[in-house]
Amino acid sequence: MVQPRDGQAKNILRQRQDVLDVAYQRHPERFVRSAPKPRPPPSEVWINKPVATPEPLSVGEVR
């Protein structure tokens, strides 16, 4: 798991790419489309994402 908060994301992704490169060199037939690339870490991660509060309705307004 990549945890960017500890500052190791770049190192982890580099290590993953090295492993994928070796796997591709040894068995290119396993990778039909192209050479594999590790997924980048997500920009946001939530356990319970806050819900945007809707704007209050004016008197007589209907949605």
Q: Round to whole Å and give the CA distance between 53 and 63.
A: 15
pTM of the model: 0.62
12 class by beta-carbon count within 10 Å (0-12 exposed, 13-18 middle, 19+ buried): middle
Look-up: residue for tokens 């290119």?
28
Domain ranges in the chain are: 9-34
**pLDDT, tens digit only, all 63 positions of the chain:** 566 667 788 888 999 999 999 999 999 999 999 999 998 888 888 899 888 887 777 777 666
